[in-house]
A and B are shown apart, each in its own frame.
Chain A
Amino acid sequence: SQKIEQNSEALNIQEGKTATLTCNYTNYSPAYLQWYRQDPGRGPVFLLLIRENEKEKRKERLKVTFDTTLKQSLFHITASQPADSATYLCAFRGSTLGRLYFGRGTQLTVWP
């Protein structure tokens, strides 16, 4: 079955450093990947989408890469801040229209 995994459940880094989160997928070749941010008690908020023919995408301090050979997406937050502390989720739309498969998320904590 189509599966998506985020390697780390939790990541703790110091303010100012770059956070790198990993997302791997199996049994499918998605045309694109999406990344979301979720704060406690809130719904996920969309951050970035990257297509399979885009190796890299940037938005302000965020950068996403998509390696179809490794079946992996990396999500980077540069110059991280305590306000970046949240759970980050990756997702792809599988063969079934309208359905997103989500990873379980990586809880990022940025400490001062």
Chain B
Amino acid sequence: KAGVTQTPRYLIKTRGQQVTLSCSPISGHRSVSWYQQTPGQGLQFLFEYFSETQRNKGNFPGRFSGRQFSNSRSEMNVSTLELGDSALYLCASRPQGTSHSPLHFGNGTRLTVT
């Protein structure tokens, strides 16, 4: 079974631009979560989608948004990029099931904002 796939692996953008990151979950997994990882803050929860609906959202500004498609693939978008948005963005999927099922992470998209 293929793992979680995130594209692209690396991105360099300029302040003020916007960016879209893509995530393909493990086949059969219907929940997709997004996390931001930085050296200073560690892993911070962005949002979770299940069956095309956002179930939860972390404490990030409205510039961060996401969506999920009917095939469970997900995208997240960051508008009006700021230098502080430079981070590793991780997508994780899990099957529908009990709330404590572990997350399966992709290898992330490394975003650099200059």
Interface residues contributed by chain B, number (CB under 8 Å): 24
**Residue A71 at the chain B interface, CB threshold 8 Å:** no
A10 to chain B: which residues have CB within 8 Å?
none
**Min CB–CB distance B60 → chain A (angstroms):** 12
**Residue A42 at the chain B interface, CB threshold 8 Å:** yes
Size bracket, chain A contacts: 20 to 34
B92 to chain A: which residues have CB within 8 Å?
43
Within 8 A of A (CB), among B38-52: 41-43, 45, 48, 50
* Cβ contact within 8 Å between B48 and A99: yes
* Cβ contact within 8 Å between B100 and A31: yes
**Residue B11 at the chain A interface, CB threshold 8 Å:** no
Which of the candidate stretches A21-29, A58-66, A75-83, A90-98 sits at the interface with the other chain? Answer: A90-98
**Min CB–CB distance A103 → chain B (angstroms):** 7
